[in-house]
């Protein structure tokens, strides 16, 4: 029984951790609501290939991936294109989501992981503050350790008792509601194959049109509700700017969610650890979460393997969170402030920043292993005079930047004080302050 591990939901990090644990002699079962052939979405994803190596996976076969094209960013008025120029060695790869899953699942099966498909996880089974199993539509399952890989709205995380100290919901401006669909391509374009638009059709969010050989890939992401009328309005705006995008829908067409917030303040309790979207591990501004989930899988599996007493208490599992914050979380959480800043700017202010070179293409040259603020705002000293000159004329924008700067300093300083060892009172106090910093800035 001590070697038994439950993975609730077949998220990427959960399956990768399952494989690493099974390879170390653990008896691991993944409980997934979908059927095997339904796993993953009907579209491609971009991620850092280096993450595969971290979980013992080889590079996929060459016919299964291609290197991502540079993106060109546009402000709301689309006056000034900001062209990324990511160095070749830093490029991410693009793969079909279903192929990523096929690779992860085949690898996990080869290590002895069991999968129970068509099984919806309903809630955790608790004994006091300890998670001892999961209630599912196929019955109750027990194990001393439950890995929560159910994604952003995980019913396991949301139904933990408050005494575990783990946030249940994601909070305001913390999820992108996304529509993604592929259309036919009705014209050729000369340049900028991958166009990303801030505040398309004046909606608080982003849109992209990526032009492929035979198709166009459109994504719309907003913070609030996404109605059919919104989808129609933003699609019309994107189509007007991209006449190559036809009207015939070929793939996709779902509305889904991506967390775009700071990582969960507390990711573990006795017998429980959250991973991937259920722990909000995506890069806050752009929503990429696959590579971080895989990297976290290695950290979680190592932590579980090192727990020789097989107790899986907060004391032992906290090491996983410390590892995650040291490697990734501490640089990701400041980015959540930058995302909140974007929610406070008007379309005109964002246009001004782009048109006047305060925000430049270099700032948006994001490579495969970019995780932190420095990667996104890689301001060279040479660009500073222009930026400052541009800003000096706009006290209204400076007024919005100052609280963001203050919050950035606060969160960086606060992350440095994260307790290295589990002490319930200290951890809960640290987590409460971490959440308060974001809440305060969000409501300012
Ligand atoms: C449109 C879109 C585009 C994206 N593009 C990229 C990209 O290009 N690059 C990138 O790195 N990331 C991208 N992401 C984000 C990425 O999908 C996630 O960050 C990443 O997959 C990690 O999430 P996860 O695997 O933990 O959770 P999920 O992908 O949500 O997987 C959760 C799994 O748990 C299952 N599940 C959920 N609830 C239950 C339940 N109650 N019972 C049983 N099973 C359950 C689900 O069926 C699913 O299989 C994108 C997301 C979206 C929506």
DSSP state letters, 44-109: EEEE-THHHHHTTPPPPPGGGEEEPPPEEEE-TT--S-EE----GGG--EEEEHHHHHHHHHHHHH
What per-residue string of b and e applies to 259-297 under the rule 16 or more CB within 10 Å gives b? bbbbbbbbbbbbbbbbbbbbbbbbbbbbbbbbbbbbbbb
Closest CA to 183 of 129, 153, 144, 219: 219
Q: What percent of the chain has pLDDT over 70?
A: 96
Handedness of CA 366, 372, 377, 382 (dihedral sign): negative
Ranking 207-216, 386-395, 431-440 by mean pLDDT, the lowest is 386-395
CA of residue 101 relative to chain centroid, distance: 17
CB 116 within 8 A of CB 31: yes
The pick from 17, 45, 134, 208 for probing ligand 1's pocket by mutation, whose C-beta has the most ligand atoms within 8 angstroms, reads 45
Query: How much is the pLDDT for 171?
Result: 82
Strands 175-185, 215-222: pairing is antiparallel
Handedness of CA 139, 256, 364, 394 (dihedral sign): negative
Residues 55, 61, 62, 63, Cα dihedral to 10°: -130
Q: Is the CB of 178 under 6 A from ligand 1?
A: yes
CA of residue 370 relative to chain centroid, distance: 13
Separation between Cα atoms, residue 107 and residue 44, nearest integer Å:
20
Q: How far is the CA of 399 from the centre of ligand 1 (A)?
A: 37
pLDDT in tens, 221-230: 998 889 999 9
Under the banding of pLDDT at 50, 70 and 90, the label for residue 282 is very high
Query: How much is the pLDDT for 128?
Result: 94
Residue 113: is its pLDDT beyond 80? yes
CB 115 within 8 A of CB 10: yes
Residue 374: is its pLDDT beyond 80? no
Under the banding of pLDDT at 50, 70 and 90, the label for residue 411 is very high
Query: How much is the pLDDT for 338?
Result: 87
Q: How far is the CA of 87 from the centre of ligand 1 (A)?
A: 28
Q: Is the CB of 165 under 6 A from ligand 1?
A: no
The pick from 290, 297, 300, 324 for probing ligand 1's pocket by mutation, whose C-beta has the most ligand atoms within 8 angstroms, reads 290
Q: What is the pTM of this model?
A: 0.95
In this prediction, residues 393-404 reach a mean pLDDT of: 93
CA of residue 76 relative to chain centroid, distance: 24
Give the angle 16-255-221 at the CA atoms, nearest 5°: 90
Q: How far is the CA of 152 from the centre of ligand 1 (A)?
A: 8
- The residue nearest atom 45 of ligand 1, judged by CA position, is 9
Q: Is the CB of 286 under 6 A from ligand 1?
A: no
- The residue nearest atom 52 of ligand 1, judged by CA position, is 258
Query: How much is the pLDDT for 369?
Result: 60
Residue 167: is its pLDDT beyond 90? yes
- The residue nearest atom 35 of ligand 1, judged by CA position, is 9
Q: Is the CB of 144 under 6 A from ligand 1?
A: no
Q: Is the CB of 151 under 6 A from ligand 1?
A: yes
- The residue nearest atom 27 of ligand 1, judged by CA position, is 151
Beta bridge partners of 252: 181
Q: Is the CB of 256 under 6 A from ligand 1?
A: yes
Q: Is the CB of 121 under 6 A from ligand 1?
A: yes
CB 121 within 8 A of CB 134: yes
Ligand 1 atom closest to Cα of residue 94: 8
Within 8 A by CB and 6+ apart from 226, the residues are 177, 178, 179, 220, 255
pLDDT in tens, 70-92: 899 999 998 899 998 888 888 89
Separation between Cα atoms, residue 196 and residue 206, nearest integer Å:
7
Query: How much is the pLDDT for 254?
Result: 92
Q: Is the CB of 221 under 6 A from ligand 1?
A: no
First CA to last CA distance, the chain: 50
424-443 vs 330-344: helix axis angle to the nearest 10?
Answer: 20
Q: Is the CB of 42 under 6 A from ligand 1?
A: no
Ligand 1 atom closest to Cα of residue 34: 47
Query: How much is the pLDDT for 187?
Result: 96
CB 136 within 8 A of CB 31: yes
Closest CA to 258 of 205, 327, 294, 194: 205
Q: Is the CB of 360 under 6 A from ligand 1?
A: no
Residue 172 three-state SS: coil
Q: Is the CB of 258 under 6 A from ligand 1?
A: yes
In this prediction, residues 153-169 reach a mean pLDDT of: 96
Judge residue 232's burial from the number of C-beta atoms within 10 Å of its C-beta, 0-12 exposed, 13-18 middle, 19 or more buried: exposed
Highest mean pLDDT among 21-25, 281-285, 330-334, 378-382: 21-25
Handedness of CA 272, 273, 276, 282 (dihedral sign): positive
Query: How much is the pLDDT for 388?
Result: 82
Separation between Cα atoms, residue 74 and residue 200, nearest integer Å:
9
Edge-to-edge strands, sheet with 27-31: 114-116, 27-31, 4-8, 145-148, 272-274, 268-269
């Amino acid at each position: 029984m001590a070697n038994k591990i439950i993975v609730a939901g077949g998220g990427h990090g959960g399956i990768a951790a399952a494989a690493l644990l099974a390879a170390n002699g653990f008896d691991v079962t993944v409980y997934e609501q979908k059927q095997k052939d339904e796993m993953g979405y009907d579209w491609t994803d971009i991620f850092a290939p280096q993450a595969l190596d971290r979980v013992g996976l080889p590079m996929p076969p060459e016919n299964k991936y291609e290197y991502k094209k540079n993106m060109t960013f546009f402000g709301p008025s689309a006056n000034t294109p900001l062209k990324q120029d990511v160095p070749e060695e830093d490029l991410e790869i693009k793969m079909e989501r279903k192929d990523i899953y096929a690779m992860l699942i085949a690898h996990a099966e080869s290590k002895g992981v069991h999968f129970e498909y068509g099984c919806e996880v309903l809630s955790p089974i608790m004994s006091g503050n300890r998670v001892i199993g999961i209630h599912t539509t196929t019955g109750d399952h027990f194990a001393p350790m439950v890995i929560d890989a159910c994604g952003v709205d995980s019913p396991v995380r949301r139904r933990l008792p408050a005494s575990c100290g783990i946030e249940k919901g994601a909070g305001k401006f913390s999820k992108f509601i996304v529509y993604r669909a592929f259309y036919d391509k009705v014209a050729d374009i000369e340049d900028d194959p991958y166009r990303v638009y801030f505040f398309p059709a004046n909606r608080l969010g982003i849109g992209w049109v990526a032009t492929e050989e035979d198709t166009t890939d459109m994504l719309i992401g907003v913070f609030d509700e996404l109605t059919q009328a919104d989808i129609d309005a933003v699609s019309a705006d994107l189509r007007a700017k991209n006449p190559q995008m036809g009207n015939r829908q070929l793939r996709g067409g779902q509305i889904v969610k991506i967390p775009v917030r700071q990582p969960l303040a507390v990711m573990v309790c006795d017998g429980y650890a959250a991973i991937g979207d259920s722990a909000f591990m995506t890069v806050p501004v752009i929503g990429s979460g696959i590579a971080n989930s895989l990297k976290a899988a290695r950290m979680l599996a190592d932590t579980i393997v090192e727990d020789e007493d097989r107790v899986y208490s907060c004391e032992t599992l906290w090491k996983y969170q410390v590892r995650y914050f040291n490697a990734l979380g501490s640089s990701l959480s400041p980015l959540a402030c930058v995302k909140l800043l974007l929610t406070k700017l008007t379309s005109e202010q964002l246009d001004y920043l782009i048109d006047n070179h305060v925000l430049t293409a270099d700032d948006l040259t994001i490579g495969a292993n970019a995780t932190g603020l420095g990667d996104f705002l890689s301001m060279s000293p040479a660009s500073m005079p222009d930026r400052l000159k541009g800003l000096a004329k706009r006290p209204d924008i400076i007024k919005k930047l100052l609280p963001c700067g203050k919050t950035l300093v606060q969160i960086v300083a606060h992350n440095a004080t994260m307790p290295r060892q589990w002490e319930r009172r200290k951890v809960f106090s640290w987590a409460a302050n971490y959440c308060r910093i974001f809440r305060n800035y969000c409501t300012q």
